[in-house]
Amino acid sequence: MRRAPSALELRRDGAARYLPWTIGLKMFFAALAVAGMVALERVASTWESGANAVVTVELPAGSSAAMIDAALETMRRTVGVASAELLSEDAMADLLSPWLGAGDAMQDLPLPVLIDVRIDEGEVVDWAEAEARLYEAAPEASLETGMVWVERLVDFARLGQLLAAIVLMVVVAVAALTVVFATRSGLAIHRETVELLHLLGASDGYLAREFQWQAFWLGIRGGVGGVLCAGGALVVIGFAAGRMEAPLLPNVGLGVVGWLLLILLPALSGLLTMAAARQTVLHDLARVP
């Protein structure tokens, strides 16, 4: 059934006509901020869980077989460790070939013994405890987890998330203010109609509903436009990131949660504009005799 026309046609106003555009622009930035927060969360979580950490146990050159076995056994018994394997001479040769070449130079060098430790995906390993047990079993072994610089990277990612959250809050606040001003402008433009509706028995709530639903759909329209543009931009960014050789950025994607949040953003935009319009109307009408 056709919707009854409203006595207050906000879409006809100058301020409201451009509301979807201004809201759309703000939702574009909001979507990028949300995407940034989600992507950084995924990267930081990956770094924190250590799934991507390269963990190595190093023993001095000439270490005894017993000490090497003790170190291997200790690492294999560590909770969260999937495997611990002695790095073969061939693998060592491959690793050092860029510096030493493919010749026999390595045979004359006192190379340390390296154990390559792999971690179960998603497991969090207590490296402090593992290091203490390793020290007991093989006092000359040392554990290289890279956790120091991982922690710094995680801190940096968290800072990025904080900045994205601040940007998001500012964008939302500016969007709400835009709606407040557009609503005030609408109230001023339609002052006579608002007064007429009051005299015909309309309550403040009725008038607020007239404004809020129109603001809701304008907000939805703006939100959809902004999120579609942001989605396109994110796909391009993701494509470009995929072509980069960046081993430190294991999962730049948004994941299901990220994309769901982006899909929800237009609805949130509509709810935001609706709430801002309603509160503005109720606040301003309360001052009318």
Partner 1 sequence: MVRFENVGMRYGLGPEVLRDISFTLEPGSFQFLTGPSGAGKSSLLRLLFLGYRPSRGLITMFGEDVAEADREQLALLRQRIGVVFQDFRLVDHLSARENVALPLRIAGVGDEDILAPVTELLDWVGLGDKLDAFPQTLSGGEKQRLAIARAVIRRPRLLLADEPTGNVDGVNGRRILRLFEALNDLGTTILLATHDERLIARYAHPCMRLVAGQLLEVATREAAQ
Residue ranges binding partner 1 (CB under 8 A): 1, 4-5, 7, 9, 12, 192-193, 195-206, 286, 289
Q: Which amino acid, one-letter code, is at 165?
A: A
CB nearer to partner 1: give 4 or 61: 4
Nearest CA-CA partner of 164 in 268, 36, 258: 36
Nearer to partner 1, 149 or 206 (CB): 206
1 vs 61, beta carbon nearer partner 1: 1
| Nearest distance in Å: CB 8, partner 1 | 9
Of 53, 45, 54, 56, which is closest to residue 131 (Cα–Cα)? 56
For the CB of residue 35, give the shortest distance to partner 1 in the complex, in Å: 41
Whether the CB-CB separation of 53 and 100 falls below 8 Å is answered with: no
- Look at strands 81-86 and 113-119 and give their pairing: antiparallel
Residue 122: both structure tokens together: 């998603």
Instruction: Rank residues 154 and 202 by Cβ distance to partner 1 and give the closer one.
Output: 202
Minimum distance, C-beta of residue 285 to partner 1, in the bound complex (Å): 8
- Long-range (24+ apart) CB contacts under 8 A made by 170-175 are 171/26, 171/29, 171/30, 171/33, 172/26, 172/30, 172/272, 174/26, 175/22, 175/23, 175/26, 175/27, 175/30, 175/269, 175/272, 175/273
**CB-wise, 96 or 197, nearer to partner 1?**
197
CB of 194 to partner 1, least distance (A): 11
Q: How far is the CB of 19 from partner 1 (least distance, A)?
A: 19
Least spacing, CB of residue 5 vs partner 1, in Å: 6
CA distances from 27 to 129, 163, 182, 237, 259 (A): 47, 17, 17, 18, 14
Of 275 and 282, which CB lies nearer to partner 1 in the complex structure?
Answer: 282
